[in-house]
Amino acid sequence: MIVSWNWLKEYVLLDMPAAELERRLMMAGLNHESTEEVGGDLGIDLEVTSNRPDCLGHLGIAREVAVLWGRSLKLPAAAPREGAAKVTDLTRVSLECPELCYRFTGRVIRGVKIGPSPSWLVRRLATIGISAINNVVDITNYVLMECGQPLHAFDLAKLAGPEIIVREGRPGEKLLAIDHKTYDVGLGVCVIADAKRPVAIGGVMGGAESEVTEATRDLLIESAEFAPLSIRTTARKLNLHSPSSYRFERGLDPAGVDWASRRCCELILDLAGGELAAGSIAVGRTPPVREPIVLRLAQLPRVLGITIAADEVRRILQALGNREVKADSQKVEVIPPSWRRDLTREIDLIEEVARIHGYEAIPEDVSVPMAPSARSDEDRVLSTIRHVLTAAGFDEALTLSAVEEEWSQAFSPWTDAAPLVSPTPILRRADRLRRSLVPSLLGARRTNETLANPTIELFEIAKVYLPKPGALPDEERMLALTSGGDFFAVKGVLEALIARLNPAARLEVIDASLELLDSGRECELKLNGERLGFLGEASDQGLKQFELRGRTTVAEVRVSQLIKAARLVPQYQELPAFPAIGRDINLELPEAIRWADVAAIVSERSGAALESLEFKEIYRNDALRSAGRKSMLFSLTLRSREATLTNAEADAIRASIVAACGERFGAVLRA
């Protein structure tokens, strides 16, 4: 809302510097955006919050100034001289949609002389950025910007007959508005119509055919109150936002409808002449009666933490337009003004008193009692994950929660349910809530490839959205990675992470076949027997789909399983008192036997003596290959907690392992 300094002076004494006015208005709730000098006047742009439509006119701002400086407010009389003819003989109004238009009033002025506005009026409108058109149109704009109530002047002669109908638009109806664009004013849109057709979009914009021109003689002045929700819907639907719709959307002073009409007529009579028909046509509801509100004075310190003198409280409330009904040492009872529909409760009055009294009075150094605050297990695990991954050389990415359809379809390892869709894309084409982080990370990878960044190691911790029939979706937090390293590089990172969270946690792999991944280099992961996630190198097809040049390994695991497995408070294990003894084993065995199979035998045969088992290498030569065999080298560290393990005992364990591998896998010891 831009206000003109000179205009504001009509209503309240301004003897302070403009900067001081701006500052105090800001501290009372009207944020100062900017001030511009326009032809010897100042256009001061103030931000008006949506609860204060009363400040969408100069009078509202002037009232705030008057309250803040303790000054009186001068209101125009709005008492136009009426002629002999009766308005009811000249026009009729029927309101057919009281749910869209609460109240409609009309006055008629005959015999006006259309011409340019006087220069004071032109200048004031210019200061706030409105160009002058002709005296009548300028006056409707002037009154709009004076009190915030939109008005419309119809050329009475251009209406088909004397009757005005306020009704809902009919399917297929169109209207050429004064912006010379044609709008569909169908169902749900409130239109002002004559006997034949809509002549205005109620509360939004007038029609071109009935607009005031040089030739206009007789006027119908509309001042109405439209339903905020209906105006908002219409403005959106037609993509037509006007100063009128802006104000009606926020809800106007129901008692101001008639005042604005009278004020408008008063100015037209003054500046354009003509004769006002006696009386007005008013249909629809009368302004609702306001209930009194009780403000208990003890509530002020309870909410604000400061005491404000009762006299000051009463002064502020009354200056703001509240009518005091009762007051004693404990409480004040007031009826709020019609233009303050936001004031309905005690707490609303407390805010009014506080903002006018000034929030500067509230201290910023009271002591607040201490309270415990615990860090959640989840927080601690997330912190560990981040430490391990950054130590492993991964950068943390943050990507959008939604992806475009192709990416959404490309990969959904957690659910077959269709993704949730937002009809409005979140960004560009991304309208599907993601069911995996991997496509987004591959997208980030591509961005980095495009920028020729040599090393792209990324992880993200974020939620995926897994739809569930008949309930809020499962929002499961995932850890996902994309690396330029191979399968085992990324597997090693995950193993290190899990070992950090709990060295005793059991990570297993299961064969898997996932979209995007190379069928020879992928697996599903289980942690302590529960599904953890997956890991694999992207297939050629997958790389192509994401337009990636370099190879990448991706993984995605469920953070909930990491939290479940984590041992957040490790328990001390007594350090061993006896020396360890090492044994290497080199087995030749069939290709089909996996490390996990061998490791299981080792663990079974060594029992408590096994301190650690280390894989060394797999070796193949032509002879082995042609026999479908491979050689596997590993070493174990054995230690007893009771005594020094002897060579003989270690050898026995080794022999037992070799024997078992021989028996179960057909493994033989290599030299």
Partner 1 sequence: MALAEFLAELDQLQADAECTFQSAADAEALEAARIEFLGAKSGRLKAVQKGLGAVGKDDKPAAGKRFNEVKQAIDAAFEAAQARASAGGGKQAASAEFDPSLPGRRPRLGHLHPITQTIEDLKEIMGRLGFTVTEGPEIEDEWHNFEALNIPAEHPARDPLENFYLSTAQALAKSSGQTTGQPLLLRSQTSTVQIRVMEKTPPPVRIISLGRVYRPDTADATHYPMFHQIEGLLVDRRVTMADLKSVLRLFARSFFGGDVHIRFRPSFFPFTEPSVEVDMSWHDRWIEMGGAGMVDPNVLKAVGYDPEEVSGFAFGLGVERVCARRHHVTDIREFYKNDVRFLEQF
- In angstroms, the CA 106 to CA 278 distance is 11
- In angstroms, the CA 123 to CA 117 distance is 10
**Min CB(347)–partner 1 separation in Å:** 5
**Min CB(160)–partner 1 separation in Å:** 34
User: What is the distance between the terminal CA atoms of the chain, rounded to a whole angstrom?
Assistant: 91
How would you label 170-186 residue by residue, b for 16+ Cβ within 10 Å and e otherwise?
eeebebebbeeeebebe
Give the nearer residue to partner 1 in terms of CB position, either 370 or 569: 370
**Min CB(317)–partner 1 separation in Å:** 15
**Min CB(140)–partner 1 separation in Å:** 25
Which residue in 151, 205, 153 sits closest to 180, CA to CA? 205
**Min CB(33)–partner 1 separation in Å:** 13
Give the nearer residue to partner 1 in terms of CB position, either 392 or 636: 392
- In angstroms, the CA 644 to CA 104 distance is 102
Give the nearer residue to partner 1 in terms of CB position, either 497 or 609: 497
Give the nearer residue to partner 1 in terms of CB position, either 109 or 444: 444
Give the nearer residue to partner 1 in terms of CB position, either 104 or 394: 394
Give the nearer residue to partner 1 in terms of CB position, either 160 or 361: 361
Give the nearer residue to partner 1 in terms of CB position, either 236 or 625: 236
Structure tokens at 540: 């050629």
Paired sense of beta strands 432-433 and 41-47, if any:
unpaired
- Beta bridge pairs of residue 207: 177
**Min CB(415)–partner 1 separation in Å:** 13
Give the nearer residue to partner 1 in terms of CB position, either 279 or 473: 473
**Min CB(383)–partner 1 separation in Å:** 8
Structure tokens at 58: 């100069």
Give the nearer residue to partner 1 in terms of CB position, either 362 or 627: 362
Which residue in 408, 410, 409 sits closest to 517, CA to CA? 410
User: Any long-range contacts for 166-171 (C-beta under 8 Å, 24+ apart)?
Assistant: 166/93, 166/94, 166/95, 166/96, 166/97, 166/100, 166/101, 166/104, 166/190, 166/191, 166/192, 166/193, 166/202, 166/224, 166/283, 167/96, 167/97, 167/191, 167/193, 168/96, 168/97, 168/100, 169/198
For residue 234, the number of C-alpha atoms closer than 13 Å in the C-beta half-sphere is 31
Other Cβ atoms within 10 Å of 26 Cβ, number = 14
- In angstroms, the CA 125 to CA 251 distance is 24
Q: What are phi and psi of 223, to 5 degrees?
A: -135, 125
**Min CB(142)–partner 1 separation in Å:** 27
**Min CB(636)–partner 1 separation in Å:** 29
